[in-house]
């Protein structure tokens, strides 16, 4: 090799090294578009796209005071229902039973008919009075009307009302000789006034238990 060709070989070798070095850094450098001549080296960070981050369990929210109060309220309601059911299951005293069975029989305007519920009440009353401990009790039935109509008409209507009650009791087995009926027409109003409520409460049949019948000015079977 001559001395003249040595510098040429040296330059070729240097050029090859520069080309190799340029290829090596080609994937790891980029030019900043803002400064075209400045090389910016980027660090490569490996991120796994297949691995999900571990799930962090969410802490349970504490029970709200309103929910606790609602549960307590439900419990109280259940206890209340149980107490009411227990109270209904307890037998009535003799006085309470008499009050229940002798509550007034109410009638519609210008009417003397009984509902199924009223017939059932009279059936239970007859059974009560037929018990041996009640055989000395007799029953007086009073027929009443509201303030409308003539005196004579209301006396007749009161008689029909008392008679239909007496008839239903006899159908239930209660003896005729322990029954008395009387009509007061509109002479003995339970409520004063001309409201529909007062008039509805005046159209009634009263059931009065007595060991001995009181004298009546007008009586019929």
> CA 70 → CA 12, 83, 127, 150, distances in Å?
91, 20, 47, 60
Q: What is the pLDDT of residue 35?
A: 47
By C-alpha distance, which of 100, 190, 178 is closest to 137? 178
> CA 115 → CA 118, 123, 176, 199, distances in Å?
5, 12, 22, 19
Q: What is the pLDDT of residue 64?
A: 53
Query: How far apart, in whole angstroms, are the C-alpha atoms of residue 209 and residue 76?
Result: 42
How many residues make up the chain in this entry? Answer: 221
- Look up the CATH number of domain 98-210: 3.30.1330.60
pLDDT single digits (tens) 118-173:
999 999 999 999 999 999 999 999 999 999 999 999 999 999 999 999 999 999 99
Q: What is the pLDDT of residue 52?
A: 54
Q: What is the pLDDT of residue 92?
A: 87
Query: Domain coordinates of the chain in residue numbers?
Result: 98-210
Q: What is the pLDDT of residue 90?
A: 80
By C-alpha distance, which of 113, 118, 221 is closest to 172? 118
Q: What is the pLDDT of residue 122?
A: 97
| Residues of the chain with confidence (pLDDT) below 70 | 1-10, 15-16, 18-89, 212-221
Query: How far apart, in whole angstroms, are the C-alpha atoms of residue 206 and residue 101?
Result: 11
Q: What is the pLDDT of residue 4?
A: 60
> Do residues 143 and 157 lie in contact, with contact meaning Cβ atoms separated by under 8 Å?
yes
Q: What is the pLDDT of residue 36?
A: 46
User: What is the DSSP secondary-structure string of 125-181?
Assistant: HHHHHTSGGGTT-EEEEEEE--S-S-HHHHHHHHHHHHHHHHHHHHHTT--GGGEEE
Q: What is the pLDDT of residue 78?
A: 58
């Amino acid at each position: 090799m001559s001395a003249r060709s040595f510098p040429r070989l040296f330059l070729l070798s240097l050029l090859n090294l520069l080309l190799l070095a340029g290829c090596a850094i080609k994937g790891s450098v980029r030019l900043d578009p803002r400064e075209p001549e400045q090389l910016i080296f980027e660090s490569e960070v490996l991120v796994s796209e297949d691995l999900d981050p571990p799930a962090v369990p969410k802490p349970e929210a504490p029970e709200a005071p309103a929910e606790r109060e609602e549960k307590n309220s439900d419990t109280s309601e259940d206890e209340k229902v149980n107490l009411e059911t227990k109270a209904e299951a307890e037998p009535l005293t003799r006085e309470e039973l008499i009050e229940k069975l002798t509550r007034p029989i109410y009638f519609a305007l210008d009417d003397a008919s009984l509902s199924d519920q009223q017939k059932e009440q009279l059936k239970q009353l007859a059974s009560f009075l037929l018990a041996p401990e009640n055989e000395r009790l007799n029953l007086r039935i009073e027929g009443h009307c509201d303030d409308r109509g003539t005196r004579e008409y209301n006396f007749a209507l009161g008689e029909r009302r008392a008679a239909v009650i007496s008839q239903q009791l006899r159908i239930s087995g209660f003896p005729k000789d322990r029954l008395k009926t009387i009509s007061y027409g509109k002479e003995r109003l339970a409520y004063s006034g001309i409201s529909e409520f007062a008039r509805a409460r005046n159209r009634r049949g009263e059931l009065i238990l007595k060991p001995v019948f009181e004298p009546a000015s007008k009586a019929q079977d």
